[in-house]
Structure 1
Amino acid sequence: MTDPSTDVLTAFMHAYEQAANSHDIAQVAPLIAPDAVYWFSDGSHQGRDAVLGAIAETFATIGDEVYRIDDLEWITLGSDHAVCRYRFAWTGTIEGQPRSGAGRGTNVLVGTDGTWQVLHEHLST
């Protein structure tokens, strides 16, 4: 397998962003590796099921959430892995009140036979 183009990887991250904005765990699940580890501001989650549980909790807590990834940079590329960093922002409602937040993210992607998944995500505010 040759090194992926940044266009392919950027398209993956765009699909990841769209899946998050669907608020449908079934759309997010295939984009996350089975042995993924996510580090969020509220804690760490290991394994796809734990990660999806944390994401589902976010969907339930933040109504009408819109999640955005900006300033995406690819810092390393290999035939079966890639690492990116970016800025993220979200808006939505919590308990009927408008809320928003922003921060920085780093993702490690792994690829098998042209299919990419998130192995690690670290978000910080």
Structure 2
Amino acid sequence: MTEHNAASRLLFETEDVAVIMVAVPGSRQTVITFTPRLPSPRPGHITGLEGFGRAFFIKESITGIHVVPKWNHWWQSPDMPAALESIQRHLPRDQEIWTGSMPFPVEIDFSTNMICGGTTARH
């Protein structure tokens, strides 16, 4: 799969967080990722090219939903419930759903709010 075949769509965006869906045609799985700590704040609008593991998931023909922070709030933003709701509304119903990210506790905390088949995290 190549970048040209994947369709990137902004599902949700505030000053704190954005949610981007990168749909890959023919995918049988969707992975929800939470981008790790940022080296510097990302003010302004998201470009749609962000997301933890984005290129890997496209290459492996896996749809990705990427939760991207605009600054290091450690996912303690008041916008997180709305961000998670936007994910729920757009989850493919015919695919396995997984979470995968670097901040392991975040992934476990939020995966309980969504119907997920498992987590890709290692500790």
TM-score by length of 1: 0.24
Name the structure with the higher helix share. 1
Structure of higher RCO (CA pairs closer than 8 Å, 6+ residues apart):
2
Name the structure with the higher strand share. 1
